[in-house]
Amino acid sequence: MSDQWRALADEIAGHAQNYLDGLTRVAGGEGGDAIWSLLLVEVAQVSLAGAQLGASQDVILSGNWEPPLSEDPDVDGVRTALAERLEAVDDYAEVFDPYKDTAVTPYRLSDDLTAVAADLIHGLRHYHAGRPLEALWWWQYSYFNTWGNHAGAAMRALQALAAHTRLDVAEEALST
């Protein structure tokens, strides 16, 4: 494994762990009224990692084979806690693929945020098992296949929530 791949794996692993730690803290009740802004920062930072993977050449595993792992940990507790915290704004609408599928699709922030977490966890398990190239392959593959879309959709929804919180208050102040 080249030093460049190793450095990228270390960087992505750091972003992945930070996202998981932040998401877990928010699901556990931290953040108060700033929950949308905190989640926006977490998603934006992990999306930067995804963009780096997307801009990198394809990671190819020897034999084009992913070593097996035991079952990934269940993230449903985090999803449920987030759904409870985001109850009033959890459901939103999104265009899944603006080039191929332009129908509006219902999404849930709690599902999107934990889908990202699940893919990041799988890669971290490879990384912590001493297989950084497999971790990079998984993160890149799943970025294009699942978590990149979920992170992008969640970021748009969270940005809209943050904007409404700030701009709607400013409009109310101007009208009084």
Q: Choose the most confident range, by mean pLDDT, from 67-76, 87-96, 144-153, 163-172.
A: 144-153
Ramachandran angles phi, psi of 28, nearest 5°? -80, 0
Confidence band, pLDDT 50/70/90 cuts, at residue 172: low
Between the alpha carbon of residue 45 and those of residues 28, 34, 171, the distances in Å are 20, 17, 30
**What's the gap between Cα 141 and its chain centre?**
14
Query: Where is average pLDDT lowest: 100-104, 121-125, 135-139?
Result: 100-104
Q: Distance between CA 110 and CA 80 in Å, rounded?
A: 7
Residue 145: pLDDT over 60:
yes
- Nearest residue to 133 via CA among 36, 80, 65, 84: 65
Query: For the structural domain made of 3-168, what CATH number should be given?
Result: 1.20.120.1550
Average pLDDT of the chain, as a whole number: 90
Strands (DSSP E) contained in 22-174 are 91-97, 101-108
Entry pTM:
0.89
Q: What is the model's pLDDT at position 32?
A: 87
Give me the pLDDT at residue 175, please. 56
Q: What count of Cα atoms within 13 Å lies in the side-chain half-sphere of residue 166?
A: 8
Q: Contact, 94 vs 153, CB < 8 A?
A: yes
Cβ neighbors of 21 (< 8 A, separation 6 or more) are none
Determine the Cα–Cα distance for residues 49 and 147; give it in Å rounded to an integer. 11
For residue 132, pLDDT over 90 is answered with yes
Q: Residue 62: what pLDDT?
A: 80
CA-based torsion, 101, 105, 111, 113: positive or negative? positive
Instruction: Give residue-wise pLDDT tens across range 19-69.
Output: 999 999 999 999 988 898 899 999 999 999 999 999 999 998 887 777 777
